[in-house]
Amino acid sequence: MTNQDFFAALEDLERERGISQEEFITALENAMGIAYKKASDTAGEVIIKLNPEKKTITITSVRTVVEEVADPDKEISLEDAKEIKKSVKVGDTLSEEIKSKDFGRIAAQTVKQVLTQKLREIERNNTVNEFEDREGELMACTVRRIEGGAVYVEIGGNQIEGVLLPKDQVPGEKYELNQTINVYVKKVKNTGKAAQIMVSRSSNGLVRRLFENEVPEIKQGVVVIKNIAREPGQRTKVSIYSEDPMVDAVGACVGNKGSRVNAIVAQLGGEKIDIIPWSENPLEYISQALSPARVIKVVETGDASAMVVVPDDKLSLAIGKKGINAKLAVKLTGWKIDVKSESAALAELGEAAETEANAEANAEVTEE
């Protein structure tokens, strides 16, 4: 490759790959200097300069002028130095251009190494720059490999790799090669050597973005998602509120014949979704949060704690399998909730009434 071809290739890199010539040349000069010293077994200082305007590459050795040479790689005698430059004196540094027939081979090898390193660095920086602005977004991706429990996906138009760690996967959800899935972009990690896009299928953010995509009223700000409580793969509760009294928030989210919510359920692999109308009244909000169970009564029992009474035959539904329904209601409302069947609540109230009556009778006897 001639010098002209070499610099033309640099111009192509800048135009096609966005690599700055100046930045690339600096990296090349440093790498070529190290490579030349290693190949020529030179211990002294070697400077390599690339001049894109003149299309030249020069190698210069720098040695100190001394009376008596102890290290030929770093020093030159005053006598020899004066043959190169008459005005030189002891203590000066003398630069001398080196002509090397082996330099073309060294340069070619070095260019390849630096180019590979630079492309990786630029790809990493581009990835970080592109995805830092996309954190919190919903993106479609393709499963490319599965290793050690982690699922690696191809994400975005530039075939960037995303990582779906076990903790961000939905329990019981199976992933297959070349499968297309929607993921939530959690974070961009720049490790210094590579950029990793951390994505999630278990995040509440995934549910929020799916609702925004399916429900125009949410994207427009008419319907607001107040809170999300989720047990990935099993059940999600979403509390919503309409800023416009003329808009039915629940109806907007459910859609005609359930079309909107069913589309979201399908994308979550069949995960059940309860759409809960948010209320300023915490007791009313708690009653709604225990959906699909019917609630008879909610009684405030302390600071942010309440007892909920449900029909005897709805107790298991209110609590849910492994307590999930009640647990999600707690997460959604921020209240401590004690769910009781109607008969248990009446018995408890009866005991309390009896205790209170006994206390009053004892008080009357004492007064007499």
pLDDT exceeds cutoff 50 at 215:
yes
pTM tops 0.85, yes or no: no
Query: What is residue 243's DSSP assignment?
Result: S
Give the count of beta carbons closer than 10 Å to the beta carbon of residue 135.
Answer: 14
- Going 207 to 209 to 214 to 215, the CA torsion angle's sign is positive
Domains assigned to the chain: 3-130 (3.30.1480.10), 134-200 (2.40.50.140), 203-278 (3.30.300.20), 281-363 (3.30.300.20)
- Mean pLDDT of the residues in the chain: 84
261 closest CA partner among 280, 282, 240, 242: 240
pLDDT tens figures, 4-28: 777 777 777 667 766 677 777 787 7
User: Who has greater pLDDT, 334 or 363?
Assistant: 334
- pLDDT average, residue stretch 55-75: 84
3-class SS of residue 274: strand
**Number of alpha carbons in the 13 Å side-chain half-sphere of residue 9:** 12
The crossing angle, in degrees rounded to 10, of helices 21-40 and 103-132 is 140
pLDDT in tens, 106-119: 666 766 676 677 66
- From the number of C-beta atoms within 10 Å of its C-beta (0-12, 13-18, 19+), residue 183 rates as buried
Residue 359 confidence (pLDDT) above 60: no
**Burial 44-68, CB ≥16 within 10 A → b, else e:** ebbbbebeeeeeebebebebbbbee
Which H, E and C letters describe 188-230, residue by residue?
Answer: EEECCCCEEEEEECCCHHHHHHHHHHHCHHHHCCCEEEEEEEE
pLDDT value at position 17?
65
Nearest to 286 by CA among 217, 223, 239, 228: 239
Position 57 confidence tier, pLDDT thresholds 50, 70, 90: confident
C-alpha distance across the termini of the chain, in Å: 118
User: Cα separation of 179 and 237, whole Å?
Assistant: 27
Place of tokens 């399908």: 266
| Encoded tokens for 338 | 């004690």
pLDDT of residue 19: 66
Lowest mean pLDDT among 141-145, 159-163, 191-195, 305-309: 191-195
* Dist CA 185 CA 308 (whole Å): 38
